[in-house]
Amino acid sequence: MRVLSGIQPTGRFHWGNYFGAIRQYIDLQTEDEAYYFIANLHALTTVRDPEQLRQLTLDAALDLLALGLNPEHAVLFVQSDVPEVSELCWLLMTGAPMGLLERCHAYKDKKAKGLVADAGLFTYPVLMAADILAYDADIVPVGEDQVQHIEVCRDLAGSFNHHFGETFVLPKPKLLDGSAKVPGTDGEKMSKSYSNTIELFEEPKEARKKIMRITTDSRPMEQPKEPDGDHLYQLLSLFADEAQRREVAALYRRGGFGYGEIKKALAELAEKYFAEARARRAELAASPETVSEILGDGAARARRKAGTVLRRAQEACGVKPRG
């Protein structure tokens, strides 16, 4: 089974990215053949500064490698380094119904808010389909909000297969663990859009400041509190072991504590949790040629596979002679 997923370099990765997706990508890399890419072409719909995009792309590679993505197990590459995908995207675009794309939620949501939606956003699901189909991916790990795009991919691939013969593997979504939803510093879902994130490799002092500013309720210290549903407890639970979670839960139910105690414990646990990854990231950042070599090798491997699939599609639809 071949696994594929991509992640956009639209900002520095935060706790929500890690617990919601990246950790699970890393777990999957040893079970199946895995392709993971940094989706810089998709990021162009929001990032308009070229130097910023280049830096965020490099940061994404450093972060993923530091967190445990192993190039010996998984193919890691930058999306734009595989031009075959863009060519495949056009083949799929010629058969993509307008109505199908108009129903996609990212486009609908932006239009509903009165925001300008460009052709890149409108055709985003077709490029995503090309990303998936180019590697004969069987499984695509996604959050619930991305399932629709996998359905679009299957529709486009199925239509192409119907017209031109069996060409593409129809992928299936693998839902990421919904329990890994991470609250932000304001209690809402952690997201760059809400400016409520704590970055994975933020300086510990800055991360601690953000943690100490996490929104909490105004109940008296002595009042018992139910930990379930409390976003500060949810954050601490991401880093604590079972014994620590039980201890803190009992403290909540007993009362007589201040939220500042929990915030300090959270800051210490989080810093310890990412300490090894932080050290690995520093080593990688000091050896840019190593990162370039990993991405170059990943792109070469990805291009070999994507080239085979593209040729198959070109021959099927008649833009290349068979053989």
Question: What's the pTM value of the predicted model, to 2 decimals?
Answer: 0.94
Measured in degrees and rounded to the nearest 5, phi and psi for residue 76 equal -110, 130
pLDDT for 179 beyond 80: no
Over residues 143-160, the mean pLDDT reads 94
CATH code at 202-273:
1.10.240.10
Cα three-residue angle 87-29-124, rounded to 5 degrees: 30
Q: Please name every residue paired with 36 in a beta bridge, in sequence order, or none if there are none.
A: 5, 76
For the CA atoms of 186, 191, 197, 203, the dihedral, rounded to the nearest 10 degrees, stands at 180
∠ at Cα 128 (127, 132), nearest 5°? 115
Rg (CA), the chain: 22
Q: Specify whether 189 is catalytic.
A: yes
What pLDDT is stored for residue 101 in this prediction? 94
- CA–CA dist 231, 252 (Å, integer): 13
- As a dihedral over the C-alpha atoms of residue 75, residue 76, residue 79, residue 81, rounded to 10 degrees, the angle is -80
Average pLDDT over residues 136-162: 95
Tell me the percentage of the chain whose pLDDT exceeds 90. 86
Per the annotation, the verdict on 192 as an active-site residue is: yes
pLDDT tens column, 197-252: 999 999 999 999 999 999 999 888 889 999 998 999 999 999 999 999 999 999 99
Secondary element (H or E) of residue 292: helix 288-317
Domain positions in the chain are 2-181+287-317, 202-273
Q: Which of 111, 174, 181, 189 is catalytic?
A: 189
Contacts of 35 (CB under 8 A, 6+ apart): 2, 3, 4, 5, 74, 75, 77, 135, 137, 302, 305
Of 28-32, 138-142, 314-318, the least confident: 28-32
Work out the average pLDDT over 9-28: 94
Mean pLDDT calculated for residue range 84-112: 93
- In this prediction, residue 180 carries a pLDDT of 64
Q: What is the mean pLDDT of residues 95-110?
A: 90
Tell me what pLDDT residue 114 has: 80
Q: What is the average pLDDT value for the chain, to the nearest integer?
A: 94
**What is the C-alpha separation between 321 and 226, in angstroms, rounded?**
68
Task: Name the active-site residue from 110, 181, 210, 264.
Answer: 110
The distance from CA 175 to its chain's CA centroid, rounded to whole angstroms, is 13
Residue 156: what residue type?
L
Catalytic, 110? Answer yes
pLDDT for residue 108 is more than 90: no
Q: What is the pLDDT of residue 78?
A: 98
- At residue 193, the pLDDT reads 85
Confidence (pLDDT) at 323: 77
pLDDT of residue 197: 97
- Closest C-alpha to 17, from 202, 191, 188, 195: 191
What's the fold here for domain 2-181+287-317? Answer: Rossmann fold (3.40.50)
Rounded Cα–Cα distance for residues 76 and 297 (Å): 8
> What type of residue is 296?
G
Instruction: Say what percent of the chain tops pLDDT 70.
Output: 99
Q: Amino acid identity of 160?
A: F
Q: Report residue 206 as tokens.
A: 């800055």
Name residues whose C-beta falls within 8 Å of residue 4's C-beta, 6 or more positions apart in sequence: 34, 35, 36, 37, 131, 132, 135, 137, 139, 140, 171
CB-based contacts of 257: which residues, under 8 Å, 6+ apart? 221, 251
Separation between Cα atoms, residue 58 and residue 312, nearest integer Å: 32
Q: Which of 174, 181, 192, 264 is catalytic?
A: 192
